[in-house]
Amino acid sequence: MMLSVADLTVRYGSFTAVSEVDVEVADGEVLALLGPSGCGKSTLLRAVAGLEPPAAGTVRWDDTDLADVPVHRRGFGLVFQDGQLFPHRDVAGNVAFGLRMRRVPAAERHTRVAELLELVGLEGYGRRKVTELSGGEQQRVALARALAPRPRLLLLDEPLSALDRALREQLAMDLAGVLRVAGATALVVTHDHDEAFTLADRVAVMRAGRIVQTGPPDEVWRCPADEDTARFLGCGLFVPAVVADGVATCDLGSVALPWAPEGPVTLGLRPTALRLAADGISGKLIRSVHRRDHVRLQVRLDDTDQLVDAVAGIAETPGDRVHLTLDPDGLAVVR
Ligand code: ADP
């Protein structure tokens, strides 16, 4: 059982929002569509749901072309950014909605609703009004409602982006757990790479209507397809390097990267790629700013006069001479 999208193009008038996209989601797999705002993620998801007609290409479930199958007959569950719960129904009424539509008998419905509320961590919330829940709780109800009829595919459009940062991180972990336990097959749209990497088995990176890279989170994070993708994934500085025997060497130093391809590469540096150390390249500290769990430094390198970002455990005094070494966790390799 799988979803396959082939050569899909979606247009709004003369504007092409999704261009010749091929993507598959296998049974039990969670695929994240990741990309900047406006790149066409929601449009692609809506076309899969049947809410947007394709200009070309196909959406299939196994061998069935869904072109003539309306939204409510596709057997897909939908969760949107703002939950879109029914305000006049209580929590149980919302979760039971899809079951009622399918004429599931009352006793079976109650059991399923209780099961789902437990799964999303809202045991005993059945009689609560949805209008009195927090944003995070409302999204849990929306997820339970979408999962209740056992959809063959779950489509989630920025399910966490209406929530504040701290709650989002927690809920992303919870959501990942719920999807695993439910064995759900899901397509999740997000612009947030942390969220994509927390939730997904595989990530498809989109840019300007096209999928530019598909792979497991590790691979996409470490080896972005090109500099634009690397930039989107947090790399701010690019330097030429050579990898030999699993060690990358560039003007900023050498670092073990056993996963990197051998030969000439471009290294992408995230702001945490250079760390304060006892030795390594030297420079003058320009700024030192406290962050939540580390100190962010700006250093002017002695050799090149270049200004680079770095991190440290404790604050340092601007004007001091410091040394920096490369941290493999902050690096990406672009071929
Ligand atoms: P994303 O989900 O990646 O933020 P969308 O799929 O929502 O991107 O939008 C992709 C592009 O299509 C954007 O440029 C957006 O302005 C445009 N777009 C989205 N919906 C419509 C619409 N109904 N009519 C016209 N243009 C649209």
For residue range 62-95, list pLDDT tens digits in order: 999 999 999 999 999 999 888 789 999 999 999 9
Tell me, in angstroms, the distance from the centre of ligand 1 to residue 42's CA.
Answer: 7
- Name every protein residue with a CB atom under 6 angstroms from any ligand 1 atom: 12, 15, 17, 35, 37-43
Which stretches of the chain are DSSP H helices?
A: 41-49, 91-101, 106-119, 135-147, 165-182, 193-199, 217-222, 227-232
Name the phi and psi angles at 220, rounded to 5.
Answer: -65, -40
CA distances from 142 to 87, 134, 230, 271, 281 (A): 12, 12, 33, 36, 52
User: Which atom of ligand 1 has the smallest separation from the CA of 209?
Assistant: 10
Q: Whose CA is nearest to atom 19 of ligand 1?
A: 43
Q: Whose CA is nearest to atom 13 of ligand 1?
A: 38
**Residue 335 predicted with pLDDT over 80:** no
* Rg (the chain; Cα; Å): 24
Tell me, in angstroms, the distance from the centre of ligand 1 to residue 17's CA.
Answer: 6
Q: What is the CA angle 110-116-118, rounded to 5?
A: 105
Tell me, in angstroms, the distance from the centre of ligand 1 to residue 79's CA.
Answer: 18
CA dihedral 191, 192, 195, 199 (to 10 degrees): 30
Contact 247, 259 (CB under 8 A): no
Contact 295, 270 (CB under 8 A): no
Tens of pLDDT, residues 243-277: 999 999 999 999 999 999 999 999 999 999 999 99
Tens of pLDDT, residues 97-139: 999 999 999 999 999 999 999 999 999 999 999 999 999 999 9
User: Which atom of ligand 1 has the smallest separation from the CA of 206?
Assistant: 3
Q: Whose CA is nearest to atom 20 of ligand 1?
A: 43
Pocket test for ligand 1, best of 34, 37, 43, 158 (most atoms within 8 A of CB): 43
- State pTM to two decimals: 0.92
Output the pLDDT for position 83: 75
Q: What distance in Å separates the CA atoms of residue 71 and residue 90, rounded to the nearest whole number?
A: 25
Question: Which among 192, 158, 146, 215 has a CA at the least distance from the CA of 44?
Answer: 158
* DSSP conformation letters of 70-132: -GGGS-EEEE-TT----TTSBHHHHHHHHHHHTT--HHHHHHHHHHHHHHTT-TT-TTSBGGG
Average pLDDT over residues 139-163: 93
Output the pLDDT for position 314: 86
Contact 171, 160 (CB under 8 A): yes
Give me the residues paired with residue 24 across strands: 4
User: Which atom of ligand 1 has the smallest separation from the CA of 44?
Assistant: 6
Confidence of residue 162 (pLDDT cuts 50, 70, 90): confident
Tell me, in angstroms, the distance from the centre of ligand 1 to residue 40's CA.
Answer: 6
CA distance from start to end of the chain: 35
Q: What is the CA angle 305-308-314, rounded to 5?
A: 120
Angle between helices 91-101 and 135-147 (to 10 degrees): 20
Output the pLDDT for position 85: 95
Tell me, in angstroms, the distance from the centre of ligand 1 to residue 34's CA.
Answer: 15
% of the chain surpassing 70 pLDDT: 100
Tens of pLDDT, residues 218-229: 999 999 999 999
Q: Whose CA is nearest to atom 15 of ligand 1?
A: 38
Tell me, in angstroms, the distance from the centre of ligand 1 to residue 43's CA.
Answer: 6
Q: Whose CA is nearest to atom 26 of ligand 1?
A: 12
Exposure on the CB side of residue 245, measured as CA atoms within 13 A: 1
Output the pLDDT for position 279: 94
Q: Whose CA is nearest to atom 27 of ligand 1?
A: 12
Beta strands in 170-306 (DSSP E): 186-190, 202-207, 210-215, 237-244, 247-250, 253-256, 263-269, 274-277, 281-290, 295-301
Tens of pLDDT, residues 172-225: 999 999 999 989 999 999 999 999 999 999 999 999 999 999 999 999 999 999
Within a 10 A sphere around the Cβ of 244, how many other Cβ atoms?
10
Q: Whose CA is nearest to atom 25 of ligand 1?
A: 12
Both tokens assigned to 28? 């039990």
